[in-house]
Structure 1
Amino acid sequence: MSRSIHRGGLRPLDAIGGALVGALHVVLLVWLVGGMLAAGLMPGLAGAARDSLMVQIVTERLPPTTAVVGRLITLLDTTDLPPLFAGLEPSPAPPVDLPAAPEVRALADSALASTARIASTGCGAGIAVGSGFFVSPTDVVTNAHVVAGGSDMTVTVGGIVYPASVVVFDTDADLALLHVPGVRAPALQLSVAAPGRGSTGVALGYPGGGDLAITPAAVTASYETAGPNIYGDGLNERSVVEMRTQIRPGNSGGPLVVEPGLVGGVVFGGSRLDANVGYAIGADQALASIGPSIGSTAAVDTGACL
C-alpha cells in the first residue's frame, strides 16, 4: 500500500515536470526559428517574424540566435567561403531567363579590360586567388575574404602583374579596395541601386586563378539580409543579389555587369543549395563601403587569415 501511495504522490510532479519540459521546448523552438527568421533567414518571412508578439518576447529575453547558428554553420561548412547569411541559406527564388548571346558579348566587351586577377600571399604556404575590377584607373574592388590576412598582394590586368596595397578592408560587407600604383586601367561604374529581379548581365572573373571567364547571369532576387562578418562574428545588414548563374572558386570579387560599363554587384560565390545559383554583394553597398576611399593610398591591416 505504501508503494502505491508513493507512486500516486509523484504523478502530479511528473505531470508538472513534463509540462515544463514541453514548454521549454516550445520556447527554444521559437527562440531558434523565430529569431533567425526575424534576422532575415527567409526574407519573405522576416517581417511576419518580427511582428510576432511571441517571437518578440522570447528574443528580447534570450541571447541572439544568429551568432550561435552562424558559428555552427561555419564549423560544419566544407567550402572556403565565409558565411553570407545568418544561419541557413534561404531557398533560391524561381529562375528567370538568361541573356542572349549578343547581350552577353556586349556586356563582357565593356568590362574585360577592367577585370583583374587578384593574388594574396601570407596565409600558410598557398596563394589565395580571386577576381576584382577597377573603379578608377588605379583602384580595384574585390571581396575582403580574398585578401584576408594577406601580406603581399598583386593585381594582374592586361597580362601584366602589378603590386598592390589594401586601402579598405571591410569585414562586415566582405569588400576590399586595392590601390595599384603604376597602372591606368579603364574604370567601371558602380550602380547606385542593386539590380531587380529579371535584370540580365554577365559575371566576369578568374575561376581557379586561370583564364578570364564570361558567365551569363540573370538576377532572381535582390534583398537586404543579415549575416555575420567574414570571420563568422556579429550580425550586419547586407545588400545581396541572388542570380541564376554558375559561380566557381576564384570568381569572388569579380563584377556582375548589368549594363555596358555598369556593375550591379560584386560577385561573392555560389550557392550551397543549387549549383546554378550565385550571389553578389549589391553595388549600392559597395559604393557606400569603398566609395569614400577611392583614390586613397594609405594601406590598412588585412586582419587575420580565414
Structure 2
Amino acid sequence: MTTTDLRPPYVQTPHPHRRRRSGGRLLAAAVALVAVVGAAGAGGYLGGRDVATRTAAGPAAAAPVAAANAVNVPALLAKVEPSIVTVRTRSEGVDAFLQPVAEQGTGTGFVIGADGLIATNYHVVQGAQTITVTLRDGRTLPGTVLRSDPAADLAVVRVDAKGLPVAALGDSATLKVGAPVIAIGNALALPGGPTVTEGIVSALDRTVQTDAGARLRHVIQTDAAINPGNSGGPLIDAAGRIVGINTAAAGDAQNIGFAIAIDGARQTIDGLLRQGDA
C-alpha cells in the first residue's frame, strides 16, 4: 500500500483577512472551503461493445465501438439523488490579526436512516458550532453530530425528520480497477443542485494521509473529479449503489481523488451507532 498526503474536498468560505495554510498535497474534500466523498442505488447498465467482423469480401468498415464501461448516468442520478443532502456549518475562527471571525463551510452527506440519520465526513462537521442540513425536497433542518470517528474521518449527523429516502449501499470489496464510478456532491457550493462527475476506479487499497489529520487505509482512488464541497458525498457504481465516501483530492496532481470504501465505512458507522441509542 502506498501513502499519499491529501487535502479534504469541502468548501469553506474564508474571511478575507483569515490566515490560510499553504496547500497540503492531499486536501480533504469536506466542505466548500476545500470539499469531497462520499451514494445510492440506481438502475444502471453496462454498455455492450460492438465488434467489427470480416467477410469474404474483405474487412468490414470500422464499426463504432461503445465504451465497455459506459453507464446511464441520468438514470443513476435519478435513483440516488433523493438521498443526497447538503451539509452547511458555521464556526468561529481567527483572522490575520487573531481577531474572531465567522466561518462557513459546505459539504455533502447521504441518508443512511429514514429517521433522520445522515453520513458524512468528520472533517465536514469538525468544530462546527451550528449545522444545517438541506434535503433534496428543499427542507433545511438543524443537525447535530450524533456520533463521530475522527481517525476514520466519518460522522453521523441527525436531523428531526421521518420517512427519508435511504441510500442503497454496495459492496466495495467487489470493485475492480477500471470499473466505472460516479462522484456526486456540492462542489464549490454551487447553487442549483449537486455536481456529478464520471470516471473509473483508478486504484484500490491505497493508504492516504489528509491534511485534516486522518490516516485512511484501504481507500479507493478515482479519476472522477472531486472538488471542495464534495466531501461526505457518495461515490457510486454502475448499479447506482454507494461504494465509497468522497473524502480527499491530491492538490498537486490532476484527476487523483480518494473515497473511503463503503465496506469499512459501514462497519465504522454501525459500531458508532451501537455505542448508544440512536
TM over 0.5: yes
Residues 73-92 of structure 1: CA deviation (Å, up to 9, x unaligned): xx653589349xxxxxxxxx
Contact 2:27–2:210 (CA under 8 A) maintained in structure 1: no
Contact 1:179–1:295 (CA under 8 A) maintained in structure 2: no
RMSD of aligned alpha carbons: 3.1
Match of 1:145 among 123, 127, 136: 123
C-alpha separation in 2, matches of 1:293 and 1:189:
19
Q: Which residue of the partner structure matches residue 41 of structure 1?
A: 3
Q: Which residue of the partner structure matches residue 214 of structure 1?
A: 196
C-alpha separation in 2, matches of 1:247 and 1:197:
18
C-alpha separation in 1, matches of 2:82 and 2:264:
24
Deviation at 1:291, TM superposition (A): 2.1
Q: Which residue of the partner structure matches residue 176 of structure 2?
A: 196
Question: Any idea what SS the aligned residue of 1:126 has?
Answer: strand
Question: Any idea what SS the aligned residue of 1:122 has?
Answer: strand
| Higher share in strand | 2
Within a 5 Å distance, the mapping from 1:6-21 to structure 2 comes to none
Contact 1:205–1:255 (CA under 8 A) maintained in structure 2: yes
Contact 1:120–1:147 (CA under 8 A) maintained in structure 2: yes
Contact 2:85–2:133 (CA under 8 A) maintained in structure 1: yes
Structure 2 unmatched ranges of 5 or more: 6-20, 30-66, 94-101
Deviation at 1:244, TM superposition (A): 1.3
Deviation at 1:106, TM superposition (A): 2.0
| Higher share in helix | 1
Q: Which residue of the partner structure matches residue 49 of structure 1?
A: none
**Closer/same/farther in 2, CA of residues 297 and 259 from structure 1, 3 Å limit:** farther
Question: Any idea what SS the aligned residue of 1:290 has?
Answer: helix
C-alpha separation in 2, matches of 1:111 and 1:135:
12
Q: Which residue of the partner structure matches residue 205 of structure 1?
A: 185
Question: Any idea what SS the aligned residue of 1:118 has?
Answer: strand
Q: Which residue of the partner structure matches residue 78 of structure 2?
A: 109
Within a 5 Å distance, the mapping from 1:242-253 to structure 2 comes to 242-253=221-232
Within a 5 Å distance, the mapping from 1:75-94 to structure 2 comes to 76-77=22-23, 81-82=27-28
The yes-or-no answer on 1:180 pairing with 2:159 is: yes
Contact 2:27–2:211 (CA under 8 A) maintained in structure 1: no
Q: Give TM-score scaled by structure 1 length.
A: 0.61
Within a 5 Å distance, the mapping from 1:118-129 to structure 2 comes to 118-124=87-93, 125-129=102-106
Question: Any idea what SS the aligned residue of 1:185 has?
Answer: coil
The yes-or-no answer on 1:136 pairing with 2:105 is: no
Deviation at 1:184, TM superposition (A): 2.6
C-alpha separation in 1, matches of 2:106 and 2:144:
15
Residues 151-174 of structure 1: CA deviation (Å, up to 9, x unaligned): 211111121101111112111111
Contact 1:118–1:153 (CA under 8 A) maintained in structure 2: yes
Deviation at 1:217, TM superposition (A): 2.3
**Closer/same/farther in 2, CA of residues 212 and 242 from structure 1, 3 Å limit:** same
The percent of aligned pairs where both chains have the same amino acid is: 28
Deviation at 1:294, TM superposition (A): 4.8
**Closer/same/farther in 2, CA of residues 296 and 115 from structure 1, 3 Å limit:** farther
Deviation at 1:141, TM superposition (A): 1.0
Deviation at 1:123, TM superposition (A): 3.3
Question: Any idea what SS the aligned residue of 2:263 has?
Answer: helix
Contact 2:146–2:157 (CA under 8 A) maintained in structure 1: yes
C-alpha separation in 2, matches of 1:261 and 1:162:
26
Structure 1 unmatched ranges of 5 or more: 1-38, 43-65, 67-74, 84-96, 300-306
Contact 2:25–2:252 (CA under 8 A) maintained in structure 1: no
Deviation at 1:190, TM superposition (A): 2.7
